[in-house]
Amino acid sequence: MEKINIEKQGRIIIPKKIRKNLNLRNGETLSIEVVKNTIMLKAFKSVKEFSSELKGCVKESRINPLELKRIWRM
C-alpha cells in the first residue's frame, strides 16, 4: 500500500510504479466510483476500444459488446 496526498485542487498522483504495473499512460481516462467508503479507479475503455480488443476472441459470437462490457465489470 502506498501513501499519497491530495493536492489543493483535489488532485492525486498515482505513483509511477503503479502506473507502470497497470500500463496507464499520460492522458488516459479513468472511471472513479465510491464503494463502501473506498475510492475505486478503473481504466476506462470506450465501447469501440473494448469491442476492438475482443475481435477474434469469440468467433461468430452474437453477444452485444455493450452487454459483454456490463458482464465484464461485475
**DSSP letter, residue 67:** H
Q: Which residue type is seen at 53?
A: E
The pLDDT profile of the chain, 74 residues, written as one tens digit per residue, is: 889 999 999 999 999 999 999 888 888 888 899 999 999 998 877 777 766 766 666 666 677 767 777 766 65
> Can you read off the three cell numbers belonging to residue 73?
465489470
Q: What is the pLDDT of residue 23?
A: 85
> Rounded CA gap, 28 and 19, in Å?
11
